[in-house]
Amino acid sequence: MLSKRIEEMLNDQINYELFSSYLYLSMSAYLSDLNMNGYAHWFHVQAQEEKDHAMILYNYVVSAGGRIKLAAIDGPKTDFEGIREVLEETLEHERDITSRIYNIVEEATSQRDYKTVKALEWFINEQVEEEENAVDNIAKYNMLAEDPKGLYMLDKELQARVYVPSPLLANQA
Ligand code: FEO
C-alpha cells in the first residue's frame, strides 16, 4: 500500500507529466507556426513521451493499490520569443521535473517505501536523458542560429525523431 502522502505526490506528478505534454504540444504548435516543421515534430514526439510518463506513473499507482485522482491540467504558455526561448524553457522545465522526481524519491526513502523508490529509478534515468537532450538542442541551435542553411539542415535532422512507446507500456496499448 502507498501512504497518503506518497499517493498524493504521485498523483501530482501524473498531473505534472500531463501538463508537460500539454506544454510541449503548445511549443510544437508555436514552432509549426514559424514553419520550423522539424522542431515542431520533435516537440510533438516529446509531448507523446510525456503522456507515456504520466501513464507509467498511473499504472504504478494502480498496481500499488493506490487511488488515482486526476485534477485539472494548467494551461501552458502559448507564445514564445523564438526558438531559443522554447529550448531554454524546455531545459528549465526538465530540471523542474527532475527535482520533483527527486522529492518523491526522498519522501519514499524516508518512509522506507522502497517499492516506490524502485519504480522511480526509471524516471531518474529518463531525466538524465531528458536534460541531456535539452542541453544538446540548445548547443546545436546556438551553433547554427545565424546560419539559415545550417538551421534548415538542423530542422531536417529533428524531423527524423521517431516516437517509440516506452517498453514499460508495451503490453498495454
Ligand atoms: Fe516526463 Fe520530460 O520528463
At residue 24, φ and ψ (nearest 5 deg) are -70, -30
> Does residue 130 have its Cβ closer than 6 Å to ligand 1?
yes
* Binding-site residue set: 17, 50, 53, 94, 127
Q: Which atom of ligand 1 is nearest to the CA of 50?
A: 1
Compute the distance between CA of residue 78 and CA of residue 151 in angstroms, rounded to an integer.
23
Q: 108 in ligand 1 pocket by Cβ < 6 Å? A: no
Neighbouring CB atoms inside 10 A of 1's CB total 10
> Which 8-state DSSP code applies to residue 112?
T
Give per-residue pLDDT as tens, 53-98.
Answer: 999 999 999 999 999 999 999 999 999 999 999 999 999 999 999 9
pLDDT of residue 170: 75
pTM to 2 decimal places:
0.96
The letter for the amino acid at 133 is N
What is the position in ligand 1's atom list of the atom closest to the CA of 93? 2
When pLDDT is cut at 50, 70 and 90, the band that residue 164 belongs to is very high
- The domain limits of the chain are 4-162
Q: Which positions ≥6 away from 39 have C-beta within 8 Å?
A: 31, 83, 86, 155, 158
pLDDT of 22 strictly over 50 = yes
Residue numbers in the known binding site for Fe cation are 17, 50, 53, 94, 127
Averaged pLDDT for residues 117-125? 98
Q: What per-residue confidence (pLDDT) applies to 106?
A: 98
CB 58 within 8 A of CB 11: no
Residue 114 Cα to ligand 1 middle (Å) = 22
Q: HSE of 16 in the Cβ direction (CA atoms, 13 Å)?
A: 17
In percent, how much of the chain has pLDDT > 70? 98
Quote the pLDDT of residue 172.
Answer: 58
Binding site membership of 52 for ligand 1 (Cβ less than 6 Å): no
Cell of 79: 507564445
CATH superfamily of 4-162: Ferritin, core subunit, four-helix bundle (1.20.1260.10)
Where would I find the H helices in the chain? 4-33, 37-63, 83-110, 114-144, 148-159
Ligand 1: which residue has its CA nearest to atom 1?
Answer: 50
